Amino acid sequence: MAAKPGSAPVTYSPNLGQKTRPPIFKDNDLDWVRPDGRGFHQCRPAFFRTGAVNSASGSAYAELGSTKVIVSVFGPRESKKAMMYSDTGRLNCNVSYTTFATPVRGQGSDHKEFSSMLHKALEGAIMLETFPKTTVDVFALVLESGGSDLPVVISCASLALADAGIMMYDLVAAVSVSCLGKNLVIDPVLEEESYQDGSLMLTCMPSRYEVTQLTFTGEWSTPDINEAMQLCLDACNKLGKVMRTCLKEAASASQE
Amino acid sequence: MGLPNASGDLSTEVEVDAFRRLFPLRFYEKHLLESIRPDARPLGRARETTIALGAVASANGSALAKIGSTTMLAAIKMEVMTPSLETPDEGCIGLLPLAACFPLSLSLLKTSGMINLKELSLVSGKAAWMAYLDIYCLDADGALFDTALLSAVAAFSHLEIPVVSLNDDGKIVLSEEQGLSDREPVNKEKRKINLSSVPFSLTCVLHKKYILADPTAEEESIMDTIVTVVLDSSSQLVSLHKPGGTVLAYTSAIQDCIALTRQRVKELQKILEEAISGMEVD
């Protein structure tokens, strides 16, 4: 592996251990104990803080377990990309990973579809007609990936939009559920996501009880789907309350 | 005009904000006459600086540095590479090309002699560490280079090299992952890197006869002459950078900048040491 002079040397990560999947799910009664000791239907405690970035119109930082995300919102402002007049506003989303977010460097580029998924999750909740001709830019940066990244990004983004004063119908909360054999676990960590048979991500507006986005992957039976969706809706409700508390604290702190 | 009076008369407040936007230079000069800046700092004082080590657990070393509102997150991930034939005993530091877009290149981290690359060697001639350093700007409010350098230095001081061993295929793997406790780790003792002559920097803007240390983004945009001085912990000059600008930097101005930097180096050293000792609770 001799590198040509002047070119970057080829490197590999020592973190190569491929964990073999423990074959315990299908038939045994052995239960999977979650790595962090949570119950199957228990989400990680959520920490939110708005106003993290001074140079942005609005921003929020979210930490759920070891998943850390920071979102900055700029706008409504003029956009050079928008050539045509439009009497509704435009939303532009971008989700990127830092190179050190994943256990192996540079794996974040596997998630290029997150930007468009974030866009679809948010566009139903924002009142685009309140800022015609202009664009709102949402930039999400995942600092550390600890599982359930996209739901955390979506919740954090809606807080950042609220911090920026963009008019919305409601806050948007998102939660994902993984199917591990016969068990449904909510808010999976990275390890659980790598073993999952299927996953469901639900994004909804808690107070309006309306779903803005629903994403299924893998194998699902109908009763499981119903149970998983109900789990998600309940969790989103609770998450919505946590987000509201965060906004209220920020508002009352600035009033003092 | 001038500073808003204490009675908080709204009409004077609005005028001050408008004056600040319309005539920024005159707004600043009124303050500089009193040797103060709009955020009440004396001319030679830098903004409040904090360092938080270990911000990101998925990296081998990380640090978040804040100077005022400017926030930079630096993290280091270690990967294994084959050392080059001329330097079989040395590892390497990988800097994103993005880091070179600073007016002053962060490659001075390599040249300042802060790190002895021989410490990054694993098996002579076969394997060595490549330390990828990535810096992300989370909030930009002036003095970006200073904050970036500080966060990079802090990340290196927090860096913990993972224990690895050679497996059967001749590849380096993490010792715990393999579960081979009987296999001799290649680097059991070497976990932290020794940092000698750590570089610290201070950016100043020059305007007429004033020197403002640690400018905010507003100050950098209206006053175009910037001087960056990088000194190491023994006060030796590592680099001096003055890219053009309308103000000519006479020897006295440069010497003043260097004196301010010398002071700042002592402050930053203290802050970094406090951050490191704060981490060593065990």
Task: Please tell me the predicted confidence (pLDDT) of residue A210.
Answer: 92
The set of residues, in sequence order, having a beta carbon less than 8 Å from that of A223 and lying 6+ positions away, is none
In this structure, how many other beta carbons lie within 10 angstroms of the beta carbon of residue B41?
17
Give domain status of residue A239, yes or no.
yes
Question: What distance in Å separates the CA atoms of residue B190 and residue B210, rounded to the nearest whole number?
Answer: 48
- Residue B186 pLDDT level (bands cut at 50, 70, 90): low
Give domain status of residue A6, yes or no.
no
Question: What distance in Å separates the CA atoms of residue A119 and residue A138, rounded to the nearest whole number?
Answer: 9
Give domain status of residue B34, yes or no.
no
Give domain status of residue B71, yes or no.
yes
Give domain status of residue A9, yes or no.
no
**CA A35 to chain CA mean position, Å:** 21
Place of tokens 């630096």: B74
Write the CATH number for B93: 3.30.230.70
A168: domain range?
38-255
Give domain status of residue B105, yes or no.
yes
Place of tokens 């076969």: B126
Task: Please tell me the predicted confidence (pLDDT) of residue B13.
Answer: 66
Contact A147, A177 (CB under 8 A): no
B221 at A interface, C-beta within 8 A? no
Give domain status of residue A3, yes or no.
no
Is the pTM higher than 0.95? The answer reads no
B203: domain range?
41-277
pLDDT in tens, B192-222: 888 888 889 999 999 888 899 999 999 988 8
Tens-digit pLDDT string for chain A (256 aa): 333 344 566 777 776 554 545 544 554 445 667 888 888 889 999 999 999 898 999 999 999 999 999 999 998 998 877 678 888 889 999 999 998 998 888 787 888 899 999 999 999 999 999 998 899 999 999 999 998 999 999 999 999 999 999 999 999 999 999 988 888 899 999 888 888 889 999 999 999 999 999 999 998 888 989 999 999 999 999 999 999 999 999 999 888 7
Considering only residues 223 to 282 of chain B, which have any Cβ-Cβ distance to chain A shorter than 8 Å? none
Residue B211 tokens, joined: 């020197």
- Test the A interface: residue of B138, B147, B168, B183 with most A CBs within 10 Å: B138
Contact A155, A108 (CB under 8 A): no
- Residue B96 pLDDT level (bands cut at 50, 70, 90): low
Contact B185, B164 (CB under 8 A): yes
Give domain status of residue B72, yes or no.
yes
Give domain status of residue A169, yes or no.
yes
Give domain status of residue B171, yes or no.
yes
- Residue B190 pLDDT level (bands cut at 50, 70, 90): low
Give domain status of residue A29, yes or no.
no
Write the CATH number for A88: 3.30.230.70
DSSP letter for B98, please.
G
Domain count for chain A: 1
Question: What distance in Å separates the CA atoms of residue A123 and residue B260, rounded to the nearest whole number?
Answer: 51
Q: Complex ipTM, two decimals?
A: 0.85
Give domain status of residue A237, yes or no.
yes
Beta pairing partners, B137: B72
Give domain status of residue A15, yes or no.
no
H helical segments located in chain B: 10-22, 24-33, 108-111, 144-158, 175-178, 217-222, 251-279
Contact A224, A179 (CB under 8 A): yes
B139 at A interface, C-beta within 8 A? yes
* Closest CA–CA distance from residue B165 to any residue of chain A (Å): 9
Domain count for chain B: 1
